[in-house]
Amino acid sequence: MNFVCTFAMLSLLAVVALFAYGVFNLWFMCRQHKKLRREVNEYTEPRAAILLEHYPDHREWGVRLQCAKDLYEKMKKRRRDFRIVLAVGEIKAYGAGPMAYRDKKDLEKMGVPSKSIHVHLGKKKKGAAETLREVRLACQCVKIWGQNSAYVIANPLQMPLAIFACIWNGVWPRPVTVPLEETRLFYFIGKGFQLATFIFDPHGINPVSLWMKYKRRSKI
């Protein structure tokens, strides 16, 4: 009986702690949103684009690359300095080496100059293996350049998560949405879970995100 009471009390305390953590995160998000809205001029176009990765063997990735190139061309015509940020590290299923460098080569082949494509893999040079860390690394890069806003290229399912993550990391997102071509169930479940739990887990340390990282890093 004592064990049951103790377990029930600890469970209740854990729920209360999780709720309090969620409330704090919500307050922080609102604070970040208000701060960015005050600092960012909505009529000023960003000088950076965060290109979120998709599976290279999927047709949607080609659409994202073309969208990034079109943004670059648009800014080039307006004589603006513009850079595209890539932050994905090594994914074993797609060979050795960070994917961001291969994506950079693809953009170069499409006509985007190397100096306008920046790979940011973080201090440990591992890069990201899922969306939350990918956005966090890209936002770090944008802020290093002294910018507080960026275009974000993603599909409609990934975009809400990317928007929340950008605001959390201090960058005002300007969504550039590409058509959703993905149809695999696990993709919908993974992104839906991350979005639903974001306010309690903005750093991506939940079991689903950790499993995604492990699977992508270790898959042969």
The pLDDT tens digits for 107-165 are 999 999 999 999 988 888 888 878 888 999 999 999 999 999 999 999 999 999 999 99
Task: Convert the pLDDT of each residue in 194-208 to its tens digit.
Answer: 888 888 888 877 777
Q: Bridge partners of 49?
A: 84, 151
Residue 103 tokens, joined: 């994506």
Whether the model clears a pTM of 0.75, i.e. scores above it, the answer is yes
Break the chain into its structural domains and give their ranges: 46-218
- Which DSSP state fits 13? H
Closest to 57 (Cα-Cα) out of 141, 148, 182: 182
Confidence at 77, pLDDT banded by 50, 70, 90: confident
